[in-house]
């Protein structure tokens, strides 16, 4: 039987909220087994730390349209500003280009980053149901 993990998109307004909601779904409240960053998510979905106990699982992101709105360009700019402040000088041109694009409402958003990691590392696991069928 496929294990199902549900993300409540109405609770996801920032990338930090996403980490909390995902970790609660995978591990239960208070247990956090992977880092709160995109690389750690990719590792988790590839079977690394924090991965579900079974290979047969799916993640249903309910009300993902709410999350998509909150994880849009303003949150992307905020996250890229954090990344810019921490990144090695050799990474600044790329981060700076992404930041400039996000400030202009172009390029990938935080929501896009998350969905792409799911699609690349765990194809078919993420479900983005229509609002009418999510309940």
Tell me the CATH number at 39: 3.30.370.10
Q: Over the chain, what is the mean pLDDT?
A: 91
Query: How high is the pLDDT of residue 35?
Result: 81
Q: Residue 52: which domain range?
A: 3-72+109-127
* 83: helix, strand or coil: helix
With respect to residue 80, please indicate whether it lies within any of the assigned structural domains.
Answer: no
With respect to residue 86, please indicate whether it lies within any of the assigned structural domains.
Answer: no
Query: How high is the pLDDT of residue 75?
Result: 98
With respect to residue 103, please indicate whether it lies within any of the assigned structural domains.
Answer: no
With respect to residue 98, please indicate whether it lies within any of the assigned structural domains.
Answer: no
With respect to residue 36, please indicate whether it lies within any of the assigned structural domains.
Answer: yes
Query: How high is the pLDDT of residue 29?
Result: 55
C-alpha span between 121 and 43 (Å, rounded): 8
With respect to residue 21, please indicate whether it lies within any of the assigned structural domains.
Answer: yes
C-alpha span between 25 and 8 (Å, rounded): 9
Structural domains of the chain, count: 1
Query: How high is the pLDDT of residue 80?
Result: 98
pLDDT tens for the chain, 135 residues long, are: 888 999 999 999 999 999 999 988 887 655 556 788 999 999 989 888 877 877 889 999 999 999 999 999 999 999 999 999 999 999 999 999 999 999 999 999 999 999 999 999 999 999 999 865 444
């Amino acid at each position: 039987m496929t294990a199902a993990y549900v993300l409540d998109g109405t609770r996801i307004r920032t990338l930090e909220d996403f980490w909390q909601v995902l970790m609660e779904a995978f591990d239960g409240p208070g247990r956090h087994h992977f880092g709160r960053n995109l690389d750690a998510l990719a590792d988790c979905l590839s079977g690394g730390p924090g991965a579900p106990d079974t290979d047969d699982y799916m993640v249903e992101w309910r009300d993902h349209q709410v999350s998509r709105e909150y994880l849009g360009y303003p949150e992307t700019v905020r996250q890229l500003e954090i990344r810019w402040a921490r990144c090695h000088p050799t990474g600044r041109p790329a981060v700076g280009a992404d930041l400039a694009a996000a400030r202009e409402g172009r390029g990938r958003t935080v929501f896009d980053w998350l969905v792409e990691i799911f699609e690349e590392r765990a194809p078919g696991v993420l479900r983005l149901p229509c609002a009418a069928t999510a309940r």
